[in-house]
Structure 1
Amino acid sequence: MSGTPAGDALRLRDASIGYGDVAIVQGVDLTVAHGEAVAVLGSNGSGKTTLARGLLGLAAVLGGEVQVLGAPVGRLRERGRIGYVPQRHTVSGAVPATVREVVGVGRLARHGLLGRLRPADRAAVADAVTAVGLADRIGDPVASLSGGQQRRVLVARALAAEPELLVMDEPTAGVDAASQEALAAVLADVSTAGTTLVVVTHEIGPLSGVLSRAVVVDHGRIRYDGPLAGAQPTAGGHCHPDQPAGPAAGYRFDQPRVTIDVAAARNGGH
């Protein structure tokens, strides 16, 4: 990126986000500046994933204001400005595809489904694959890779679009230590280049050296927003704020799975 864009990367004001008419996240006030590296923390069912999906237009904004890169959520014309790494761990499927082909999908956000990859696009794909340490596997079928390597392919797919904002949902869950360390190194470089990072996770792990700010979601509300060090880890590696606090003043690759969230909300949980 050349220079820092004006304004905020994210701005939420009294935002309620959910599915159908059920609000999972409520009354959120949150501002993230361009270039920040933010961890969205919380236990399973806290609402942290719903908050992230709201930023991507994968969950409905039921009230308040949500702006992403200066535009109301879902109305950003240049969808390639947002990169997304979903929670699903792997990218293997019924149709064989190489690493190059999967990562190349990331360029479609720049040109549309009918756009043809140009030399600059192919270079961006190669750079993204190299960034995640898989240059020697670029022509291999993704099905031949380990789970951790397939996770890195998902990261490369998002990076190939050269996004200004990168949202990641549980990027280290279920992958080996080596892949976690490789991911941390990639994100450190991406953050240094000026990309805004929003990483949804229930534990920090090796990303503690990359992420500098923590937003803790609990029962659908923000309970802490401040330095990462203020969200103290428990013995199990999960992070929680020192003390409760009041609410602090892209493109789509995967079908969101919302039935669990909705069922929990209707049973009185979040």
Structure 2
Amino acid sequence: MTPTTGEGAIGLRGASIGYGDVPIVREVDLAVAPGEAVAVLGSNGSGKTTLARGLLGLATVLAGEVTVLGAPVGRLRERGRVGYVPQRHTVSGAAPATVREVVSVGRLARLGLFRRLGAADRRAVADAVAAVGMGDRMEDPVASLSGGQQRRVLVARALAAEPELLIMDEPTAGVDAASQEALAGVLARVSAAGTTLLVVTHEAGPLAGVLHRAVVVESGLITYDGPLAGAQAEPGGGHHHHEDAGQPPGRPGYRLDQPTVTPPSARPRTAGA
């Protein structure tokens, strides 16, 4: 496909991304429209995580153009518009912290470091915790939670900023089936509210009901870009995908008070670079 750089949720044109002066992802073209739910698939070392890190400014754009929510990467004024759930599976820290305290940190992306949380911010934190099914654990130390529960706390931390774009790196890895199912439910609701999802994973099966488009990355190149069901035949594309079930609506931003609606029909994507 030919992306329109500067428009949409994500735009890459001839983009090479890497570390230092070494490109890991090379000459990639990609466009993600607002409200899409996209899996980035690939084997270990394929470059899929580097692609996501480039969108976050955590890896260097060495060539080409990369835009996020209409702004060149790294120049988005309101950082809270993009949420990120990193690859690590648990919450760690030297000082003990409660679920409420950890999730409140995510709200600072909207406020800045030196502003206190007001009533609206506290409601956003509570709503985010409730969204991941942890509303009864607000005051529990995160160290007392299981690995799957801690993973859900990290998701809530990202949701607390009410992002328009949510990027997740291997969200289902290392957690049990029950936690994977709970996460799929959370992401289905977030997607239905209009938030754009980009999920980096080596296996999209647990989230196949949520992610309807797939981008397969191999050896730093996009080898497939289309419906998730068609990605299973690609190298690194996984094997447990379901049929395409539609696209989420295009209303930007995660809000719990938005009604869940029936998504429109999918818009299949053609093969990429």
Taking structure 1 as the reference length, the TM-score comes to 0.85
For residues 8-64 of structure 1, give each alpha carbon's deviation from its aligned partner in whole angstroms, at most 9, with x where no partner exists.
100000000000001000010000000000000000000000000000000000000
> CA, structure 1 residues 30+239, in 2 after alignment: closer, same or farther (shift >3 Å)?
farther
What's the counterpart of residue 126 of structure 1? 126
What's the counterpart of residue 71 of structure 2? 71
What's the counterpart of residue 7 of structure 1? 7
The answer to which structure, 1 or 2, has the higher relative contact order (CA under 8 A, 6+ apart) is: 1
Q: Please tell me whether residue 45 in structure 1 is matched to residue 69 in structure 2.
A: no
> CA, structure 1 residues 104+50, in 2 after alignment: closer, same or farther (shift >3 Å)?
same
Q: Please tell me whether residue 28 in structure 1 is matched to residue 28 in structure 2.
A: yes
For residues 141-195 of structure 1, give each alpha carbon's deviation from its aligned partner in whole angstroms, at most 9, with x where no partner exists.
0000000000000000000000000000000000011110000000000000000
User: Shift of residue 233 of structure 1?
Assistant: 6.3
What's the counterpart of residue 267 of structure 1? none
> CA, structure 1 residues 51+140, in 2 after alignment: closer, same or farther (shift >3 Å)?
same
> CA, structure 1 residues 145+134, in 2 after alignment: closer, same or farther (shift >3 Å)?
same
What pairs with 1:173-184 in structure 2 (closer than 5 Å)?
Answer: 173-184=173-184
User: Shift of residue 210 of structure 1?
Assistant: 0.2
SS of residue in 1 equivalent to 2:191: helix
SS of residue in 2 equivalent to 1:154: helix
What pairs with 1:163-242 in structure 2 (closer than 5 Å)?
Answer: 163-232=163-232, 238-239=238-239
SS of residue in 1 equivalent to 2:203: coil
SS of residue in 1 equivalent to 2:30: strand
SS of residue in 2 equivalent to 1:231: helix
Number of equivalences: 239
What pairs with 1:141-180 in structure 2 (closer than 5 Å)?
Answer: 141-180=141-180
SS of residue in 1 equivalent to 2:222: strand
Residue 213 of structure 2 contacts residue 226 of structure 2 at CA under 8 Å; is this kept in 1?
yes
> CA, structure 1 residues 87+176, in 2 after alignment: closer, same or farther (shift >3 Å)?
same
* Structure 2 portions without partners, runs of 5+: 1-5, 242-269
Q: Please tell me whether residue 248 in structure 1 is matched to residue 272 in structure 2.
A: yes
Amino acid paired to 1:248: G
For residues 72-110 of structure 1, give each alpha carbon's deviation from its aligned partner in whole angstroms, at most 9, with x where no partner exists.
000000000000000000003211000000000011001
Counterparts of 1:79 and 1:247 in 2: how far apart (Å)?
Answer: 31
Counterparts of 1:239 and 1:233 in 2: how far apart (Å)?
Answer: 8
Taking structure 2 as the reference length, the TM-score comes to 0.84
For residues 167-226 of structure 1, give each alpha carbon's deviation from its aligned partner in whole angstroms, at most 9, with x where no partner exists.
000000000111100000000000000000000000012200000000000000000000
Residue 41 of structure 1 contacts residue 239 of structure 1 at CA under 8 Å; is this kept in 2?
no
Amino acid paired to 2:181: E
Amino acid paired to 1:20: G
Counterparts of 1:240 and 1:233 in 2: how far apart (Å)?
Answer: 11
Residue 27 of structure 1 contacts residue 247 of structure 1 at CA under 8 Å; is this kept in 2?
no
What's the counterpart of residue 265 of structure 1? none
% identity of equivalent residues? 80
Amino acid paired to 2:161: A
Counterparts of 2:271 and 2:183 in 1: how far apart (Å)?
Answer: 31
User: Shift of residue 232 of structure 1?
Assistant: 1.4
What pairs with 1:35-114 in structure 2 (closer than 5 Å)?
Answer: 35-114=35-114
User: Shift of residue 240 of structure 1?
Assistant: 10
The answer to which of 106-115 and 73-82 deviates more is 106-115
